[in-house]
Amino acid sequence: MEHKNYNAINKSVRKKDAMQLLLGKPVYTEDVVPDDALVVKLLRSPHANAIVSEINTKAAKLVPGVVDIYTWEDVPNNRFTNAGQTYPEASPYDRLIIDRHVRFVGDVVAIVAAENEKAADKALKLIKVKYEVLEAVLDFRTAKDSKLLVHPEDNWVAPCEVGGSNLRNLVASEESSNGDVDGIMADCDIVLDRTYHTKAYNQAMMETFRTYTSMDRYGRLHVISSTQIVFHVRRILSHALGIPKTMIRVEKPRIGGGFGAKQTAVSEVYPAFVTYKTGRPAMIIFSREESQIAGSPRHEMEVRVRLGASKEGKIRVLDLYTLSNSGAYGEHGPTTVGLSGHKSIPMYTGSLEAFRFNYDVVYTNTMAAGAYRGYGATQGIFALETTVNELAEKLGMDPTEIRYKNMLKEGMVMPAYYNELASACALDRCLDHCKEIFDWDSKYPVRDMGNGKVRTAGMGMAMQGSCISNLDVGSATVKLTEDGTFMLLIGAADMGTGCDTILAQMVAECMDCSVDDVAVFGADTDASPYDSGSYASSTTYITGKAVEKACMELKTKMCTIAAGLLNCSVEEVYFENGLLKRINTDESVSVKDIGVKAQLNNPQIAEASASHSSPVSPPPYMVGMVEIELDKLTGEVSIIDFMSVVDCGIPINPALARIQAEGGIVQGIGHTLMENITYSPEGKPYESSFMQYKLPTRLDMGKLRVEFEHSFEPTGPFGAKSIGEIVINTPAPAIAHAIYRATGVWHREIPITPERIAMSKPEQN
């Protein structure tokens, strides 16, 4: 592992936007909207599957203040996808701005544009709609090859082959394997065959979906949106509206949380269409109910795990099958599902002789799923890690020991992870560190606390990725100003994670300056260099490397300018401690001198742009351990202590990395114990507000502790890997394990609610 005394890296620097946010400055989408913007509201379907046979908007259009109302008859017939993904687009083109065929409760039937909210709300109530109600596909286990089709249309388009077919209710499917899975399974001493079910959890970000649109002074569509994907939004709107990308500009202000929800263009197309039709500014703000019933939640998945092992605890073979519910539309369906196997199976590379991973992604008449932190790995890791914990319990072996026997270690090639090399892997050290600080040996045994309460512990480990290899592109432009400070332009979207700050730290490290001497601008499709966007844990790893490359190029250009000032060849100039020096002399010029000279009779521009893409996606690793107290009478679970140790390479900003980890752990706790999405027999979601959709608060967290084990990733900027997603993946298996220890019951569906615990009985072996 490489060590270095950094100037700005591995330092807990204050966030660039900290003071503006603390002082309540106008920084979010709603803050920048002018008072004269039209209010856009959506009429939504009350049926899970229906055809609009008749719609009457006459009375609604007469409401004072209503500008216009649009239905399926008014929009282009261009199929598109809302998924914010790089080419080749894996998600099918299966949407229209408004479709006559509505496919879930909450699907859009009409768009209302009004001068004010009161008029828009009144108009919504006066629109008369007659529906031809169709039988709905609500059970994702029976959706594949059902005679009922969610997408029977003949203009459904798959931009690339992912094994999907709308005539089979299939968004995607694939089979992959390595080695003699069935033969080795038959030769194993122990075979566990278990099926797990995870729900369609909502991101529940505090700022709901929202977008403002207007026509700029050049007649172009200007979009300001709370989004993670400005460049993908531009492409999506171009497809949906049928206008060139050159006629669209997309930018994002501060984002009040995304967690993947805003990697899908959930709200953008509606005000964009209104502005395109009327020429007037327009704004849509989703209510909390709309975000809950028509957002882009995690994919519901059922994961079947078959694990074959020796009686000594060697895991010889793994066979996973994942069934994923994409809901009414296919956004992110083909891509999330792969992570359920490819980010879980490789953790056991140390002992694995063979593996198989197959999956199907299906359409149903439920809310369309999308991206959520963890992106499919969360579901697969819950399933596999819980199975490994069960194996340990069956063998009477400590679950930490069974992992030491089987886990991936640095230098191993991972056949189940596209044959990538684990070039920086501190997973074993994470386990050592976590076990010691958590005091595993004392907390793992079940302890009777009296009053029907017991305490015990459980664990899980996880891996993720640092980008989408061979696809993601990160870019950066670094400019030198005449006062010797720097301007950083990026297309990555800071979602509150602090990427503006982290990337500025990288500039400061490269240019030997203070982080305060680096201003950051982004993300804006007109001004920012192209970036895939903030998702797939790629910003620090991919965009960070682009920043590093741009700084190196800028140094070269600065040396050229300095050579002219020093009257020497460029080969004689080098950069050191913020000065441009001439070798073997005391002569030097300052960065400020270069900035001034760049604007005076100078042919060499003092700025540089660079892009970066990676052929690999080095995984971060994590071990999580939880201590719970469980009330056997009520089934209530209290988190006493959650300890995690993360290997994200070299943390660029340890404070921000720690906050990332703590936030992800809390979300994982919520998924495991309380968050739920359920539907009525007619397909209507029950959890339409935070009264029904329960989220963990500070009182539900217990003590959270996060530590780091450093590794040095040679392909990452300054040895860094990602941290954004992995941190959500260990709570579910760790808590499920602890609940088993306390009750003798394995719960293979989450959330594990108190009533389920109280009413369950130990399995008979």
pLDDT in tens, 43-65: 999 999 999 999 999 999 999 99
Task: Over range 431-458, report the average pLDDT.
Answer: 98
**Under 8 Å between Cβ of 172 and 164:** yes
Give the model's pLDDT for residue 495. Answer: 84
Task: Over range 292-300, report the average pLDDT.
Answer: 98
**Under 8 Å between Cβ of 524 and 564:** no
∠ Cα 583 587 589 (to 5°)? 105
Q: Lay out the sheet containing 579-582: strands in order across.
A: 573-576, 579-582, 588-590
Q: Which of 430, 442, 406, 394 shows the shortest CA–CA distance to 765? A: 394
State yes or no: cis peptide before 50, omega within 30 of 0. Answer: no
**Computed from CA positions of residues 374, 377, 383, 384, in that sequence, does the dihedral angle turn out positive or negative?**
negative
User: How many Cβ atoms from other residues are within 10 Å of residue 484's Cβ?
Assistant: 17
Biggest CA-to-CA distance, the chain: 86
Among 9-23, 44-58, 341-355, 549-563, the minimum mean pLDDT is found in 9-23
Give the model's pLDDT for residue 1. Answer: 42
User: At 336, is the secondary structure helix, strand, or coil?
Assistant: helix
When pLDDT is cut at 50, 70 and 90, the band that residue 3 belongs to is very low
∠ Cα 282 284 289 (to 5°)? 165
Would you give the distance in Å from CA 636 to the centre of its chain?
Answer: 30
> Cα(72)–Cα(55) distance, rounded to whole angstroms?
10
Helix%, strand%, coil% for the chain, nearest 5: 30, 25, 45
User: How many Cβ atoms from other residues are within 10 Å of residue 6's Cβ?
Assistant: 14
The pLDDT tens digits of the residues spanning 644-693 come to: 999 999 999 999 999 999 999 999 999 999 999 999 999 999 999 999 99
Q: Which of 273, 316, 367, 303 shows the shortest CA–CA distance to 680? A: 367
Q: What is the dihedral of CA 110, 330, 619, 462, to 10 degrees?
A: 90
Residues forming beta bridges with residue 679, ordered by sequence position: 685
Give the model's pLDDT for residue 522. Answer: 84
Task: Over range 400-422, report the average pLDDT.
Answer: 97
Q: How far is CA 224 from CA 228, 255, 484, 521, in A?
A: 12, 11, 31, 15
**In this structure, are strands 108-114 and 38-44 parallel, antiparallel, or unpaired?**
antiparallel
> Cα(670)–Cα(676) distance, rounded to whole angstroms?
9
Q: Lay out the sheet containing 474-480: strands in order across.
A: 518-521, 486-490, 474-480, 607-612
H/E element holding 388? helix 377-395
Would you state the structure tokens that stand for residue 77, as one six-digit string?
């017939």
Query: Is the per-residue pLDDT at 606 higher than 80?
Result: yes
Residues forming beta bridges with residue 626, ordered by sequence position: 458, 642
Would you state the structure tokens that stand for residue 741, as one six-digit string?
């220890």
The pLDDT tens digits of the residues spanning 80-129 come to: 999 999 988 999 999 999 999 999 999 999 999 999 999 999 999 999 99
Amino acid identity at 680: S
Query: Is the per-residue pLDDT at 605 higher than 70?
Result: yes
**Under 8 Å between Cβ of 661 and 723:** yes
Q: How far is CA 334 from CA 89, 169, 231, 417, in A?
A: 10, 13, 21, 17
**Under 8 Å between Cβ of 727 and 665:** yes
Q: How far is CA 406 from CA 23, 417, 436, 720, in A?
A: 51, 16, 20, 26
Q: Percentage of residues in the chain with pLDDT exceeding 70?
A: 99
Inter-axis angle of helices 399-406 and 377-395, nearest 10: 110
Q: In sequence order, what DSSP letters do the residues of 623-652 get, joined into one string? A: EEEEEEEEETTT--EEEEEEEEEEE-BS-S
pTM of model > 0.85: yes
Give the model's pLDDT for residue 385. Answer: 98
Would you state the structure tokens that stand for residue 654, as one six-digit string?
């340890």
Give the model's pLDDT for residue 511. Answer: 96
User: At 39, is the secondary structure helix, strand, or coil?
Assistant: strand
Burial of 130 (0-12, 13-18, 19+ CB in 10 A): exposed
Mean pLDDT over each residue of the chain, to the nearest integer: 96
**Under 8 Å between Cβ of 250 and 223:** yes
> Cα(559)–Cα(579) distance, rounded to whole angstroms?
10
> Cα(607)–Cα(360) distance, rounded to whole angstroms?
48
Query: Is the per-residue pLDDT at 4 higher than 80?
Result: no
> Cα(37)–Cα(113) distance, rounded to whole angstroms?
10
User: How many Cβ atoms from other residues are within 10 Å of residue 418's Cβ?
Assistant: 13
Give the 3-state secondary structure of 52-68.
EEEEECHHHHCCCCEEE
Query: Is the per-residue pLDDT at 462 higher than 50?
Result: yes
**Computed from CA positions of residues 749, 752, 753, 756, in that sequence, does the dihedral angle turn out positive or negative?**
positive
**Computed from CA positions of residues 593, 595, 600, 605, in that sequence, does the dihedral angle turn out positive or negative?**
positive
Q: Percentage of residues in the chain with pLDDT exceeding 90?
A: 94
Task: Over range 463-477, report the average pLDDT.
Answer: 95
Q: Which of 177, 615, 618, 614 shows the shortest CA–CA distance to 411? A: 618
